[in-house]
Amino acid sequence: MIEPRSGLESCHTQMAARPPLRLSARLGRDNPFTVIRSPHGFGKSALAAEWVRSADAAGYTGVLVPPPPAGIGSERFWRLVAERLAAAGALSTTPIDATTYPAIRDDLIRTGSPVRLALERIDHVTDPGIEEQILDLVECCDQVRVVVTVVGRTLFGDPFALDPTHDLLGGDDLLLRRTELRGLFAAGGITVHSDELDLVHRLTGGMWSLVEIARAVTDGLPSPVDRLPLLEGRLAESISDHVRTTVLAAPDVVAHRDFLVSTATAHTISVETAQFLGSGTGAARHLAALEASGVADYRETTSGPQWQIPGAARRELRSIQRAERMDPAARSTRLALHHRGRREYAAAVRCAMEAENWPLTVELVEEHWIGLVGAHLDLLRDVLLMLPEHVFDTNPGFREAQELVASLDGDVRAGTQAHDLEELRQLASADDVGKTVGIVTHQTLMLRLAGRYDASADLTRQIRRVVSEVLVTRADDLSEILPFLRMQWGLTFQLAGDFTESTEVLRLAYLQGSARRLAYIARNAAGNSALNWALAGEPERVSEWLDLERAHPPADDAVEPLIRIGGLTARALTALDRLDFATAQAALDQLDPLPVVAELWPFVVYARCRHAVAAGHPSRALTTLAAVADKRQRAESGFVRSLLTAVEIEAHLAAGSGSRACLLAARTPSDTPWSVVAVARTHLITGNHHSAITTCRRYDWLGTPFTRSHLEALLIETAAQHALGRVDRATQLWRRACELADRTGIRAAFAGVPHDLVIALEESAAVPSETAADYLASEFTDQYPSALHRPELTEREKAVLDRLADGLSAPAIAQELFVSLSTVKTQRTSLYRKLGAHSRREALAVAREFGLLPMRDHADSIPRERESGW
């Protein structure tokens, strides 16, 4: 086997900056074949080079073949490939012996060398058979991964012809997001403010080549606080020079100048739009030629083929319109009205905004804002941030909306106006009740984004009551926004831990979203409903809602990463319940990285930690929790704190860190299903079986059923009762646990009690459990140690511990034991170290958990009336 090493250094210069993690992770999925297709300047080469550069770390030999000369034949092209492969040590023969495609393929099959092969600009190869040869190479060589970059659609033009395991990245995929720009600038040691990032993103459109120009311009600026006008002037001038000299001056573009100028009014160009703008006949020919020259980006839409010219080129072309007295603003307004008539509302908004026709812009946004939120969130954000100040004076709701979209980038303002019920009723009596309710709902969103989940839920409940009253007499006033409101209410209740109310309003949001064909609302509501049922432990209901989620198409790239979180987390959790780690991992991989503002982060963290613990890597769970320590601190929600503290306790138990688990358990209220299970498990593993039984019965399992947690509590009490010698009671509980497990198919719960106990109880059961049998037939072993190591104390340390429990100070202990104060402090330090404690309170809590001190208010007998709660 040939040792992996990178062949990049000899064929590609060091990049000024590396692609964002999102794109590197996309290529890192290890697909056999990936096509990267875009116009010039989108960063295809940088991405392919980074993929090759990281080959060694992934166990591959990295080989990058730079763009061949235009018009090259396939035989000569494969000779270039062979030279690169040989230079990287990926071939067993010399290039002279392996210059044809079949020879290269056979050599790679024979050596079995794992190779990452990046082929740049294969559209320069004139032989159409090159496409079939590359696909054949991928199919025949299992250990070879291939990435190709292309301009236009002469090769691999039909995405539906690709295998499902193959991937295609287009121009939109490669555009850098605003949130990614900060990291790109920081990598070069350049500090930028939020308003500067907005400017850079607006002027560059996220194009790689233009962002590189922006980095150079910004790095050369002085550092006063008010440098924004200077940056805008210099960057606009630099981009304009670049477009004039490298894009519009290219020989294969000059011939289409008049067509480009006339159609620059449109953000995306179809043949119909080009004809409306007066380009004359031959629009299809012009567009095909511009696509082949790497200027126009093709995209297939529901309304037919369209092409897009990069925003920077459009701005330069619009400046030519002004120079030639074509009045770009009037043309944009005319096109906006044309799009409106064709019900192409996003395109209409974009044109109205570019015309700076603010009355028309506001009118369009007010009429179609729900659709814009679902499918064109980036456009809506741009509009709201560009509106002049006088618009907000007459449209206060737009100020609220502006704050909301700004918060999606992490700019969250926690403060919000408080309202009582009567005040809300008075607000709802206004003429525009929809706008008023929308403003107050926005305030609940701001509370939620600030982590004040309980306060947001309280305000949302008041809004629901008022809306219910309004619907009786003025239903039409709220019909347009009601699906969106209910979707947001469901998410608020979910984060506050009120799953009953959340499930109710999400169901209504789904029904209304489906009926109105608001796919993003229906999809979001279905995914979050699935998450509610996954947390409850009802896999059949999860499956039903995930099927409904799949019935609706994904939203656009700006909002889909947020919408899909609920469904993917639900998939991961139900897969973990079945001990299907591959499916769980695949779902979690799609959630990495999370968007900047991912409100469902507590559930994702919980799922990741559960996966890490179940897979035998509890330290990864603790690392995951440490990474969100600030968020956990800010979260004002008893539910979120309980959920994540519970999984932290479980991780410490799985890692054998009994002292830390005991400390957390001692200060965690047993008031949610998750905390009850975690605290009871701590008692069980540390040998406090009576406390384990008592804790399991602290939750009303029948009143508010959470099937998975109930199953775990039944199994924990089964183990505790068995350890106390109460075999009959343990057998009864085992039977009830198996009934739940067989109904739901949840196998993972059996891994929470000793394996030997599961075997013994299943063998003695009158009716075998299919789910328990499946668990025992798997290779899965105990998730937690059957018992934790009890700290061994010296006689003197025990004496100090007893007196600490009596409330004595260090000097009083020294006097009573007839030793020096220094000796007591030394023994106390040793005692704290053994118990993993940092204070008297922590030391006493751990000592009681391990039985070194009597438990407070402990009673050996369990009240029989509490058993009815099961």
Render pLDDT for 645-673 as a digit per residue (tens, 0 to 9): 999 999 989 988 877 888 888 888 888 99
Which residues fall within 8 angstroms of residue 758, CB to CB, at 6 or more apart?
Answer: 750, 772, 775, 776
Rg, C-alpha atoms of the chain:
32
Q: 13 phi and psi, to 5 degrees?
A: -75, 160
The pLDDT score that the predictor gives to residue 862 is 34
Bridge partners for 147 per DSSP: 34, 118
DSSP string, 412-445: ---------HHHHHHHHTSS-HHHHHHHHHHHHH
Q: Which residues pair with 299 in a beta bridge?
A: 306
CA dihedral sign of residues 577, 583, 589, 595: negative
Q: pLDDT tens digit string along 852-870?
A: 887 654 333 333 333 333 3
What is the DSSP track for 660-697? HHHHHHHTS---SHHHHHHHHHHHHHTT-HHHHHHHHT
Mean of pLDDT values over 670-681: 94
To 10 degrees, what angle do helices 795-805 and 810-817 make?
130
Identify the bridge partners of residue 148 per DSSP, sorted by sequence position.
35, 119
Q: Average of pLDDT values for 390-397?
A: 78
Q: For residue 870, what pLDDT is reported?
A: 37
Going by C-alpha positions, the residue among 247, 436, 267 that lies closest to residue 346 is 267
- Euclidean distance between CA atoms 855 and 835, whole angstroms: 16
At residue 28, the 3 state secondary structure works out as coil
How much is the average pLDDT of 605-620? 93
CB 567 within 8 A of CB 546: yes
Q: Does 575 or 465 have the greater pLDDT score?
A: 575
Report helix, strand or coil for 468: helix
pLDDT tens for residues 348-367?
999 999 999 999 999 998 88
The amino acid that residue 823 corresponds to is T
Q: What single DSSP character describes residue 121?
A: -
Amino acid at 106: D
Distance CA(377)–CA(557), nearest Å, equals: 9
Mapped onto helix, strand or coil, the DSSP state of residue 37 is strand
Rounded to whole angstroms, the Cα distance separating 520 from 561 reads 11
Rounded to 5 degrees, φ, ψ at 169 are -110, 125
Average pLDDT over residues 84-101: 79
Measure the CA–CA gap between 43 and 149, rounded to whole angstroms.
10
What angle do helix axes 840-849 and 658-666 make, rounded to 10 degrees? Answer: 110
Predicted TM-score (pTM) of this structure: 0.59
Strand partners, 169: 36
- Residue 627 CB partners (closer than 8 Å, separation 6+): none
Whether residue 536 is predicted with pLDDT greater than 70 in this model: the reply is yes
Q: Give the C-alpha separation, 286 to 294, whole Å.
A: 13
Strand, coil or helix: 217: helix
Amino acid identity for residue 166 in this structure: H
Q: Per the structure block, which two tokens stand in for 466?
A: 């008022």
Residues 822 and 810: their CA atoms lie apart, in Å, by: 9
pLDDT at residue 578 greater than cutoff 90: yes
Q: Which residues, 6+ apart, have CB-to-CB distance to 227 below 8 Å? A: 196, 221
CB contact at 8 A, 537 and 574: no
Kindly report whether the peptide bond that precedes residue 396 is cis, defined as omega within 30 degrees of 0.
no
Sign of torsion over alpha carbons 9, 12, 14, 20:
negative
* Cα 820 to Cα 822: distance, rounded to the nearest angstrom: 5
Residue 380 carries which DSSP code?
H
**pLDDT band, very low/low/confident/very high, at 428 (cuts 50, 70, 90):** low
Asked if the model's pLDDT at residue 601 lies above 70, the reply is yes
Are 170 and 150 spatial neighbours (Cβ–Cβ below 8 Å)? Answer: no
Taking only the tens place, the pLDDT of each residue in 182-200 is 888 888 888 888 888 889 9
pLDDT over 90 (residue 6): no
DSSP of 141-176: -TTEEEEEEESSSSSS--GGGS-TT-EEE-HHHHSP
User: Tell me: the pLDDT tens digits for 744-779?
Assistant: 999 999 999 999 999 999 999 989 999 999 999 987
DSSP state string for 712-754: HHHHHHHHHHHHTT-HHHHHHHHHHHHHHHHHHT--GGGGGS-
Q: Which residue has the tokens 């287009």?
A: 170
Residue 292: burial class (beta carbons within 10 Å; 0-12, 13-18, 19+):
middle
Q: Is the distance from CB of 583 to CB of 613 less than 8 angstroms? A: no
| Percent of the chain whose predicted confidence (pLDDT) is above 70 | 87
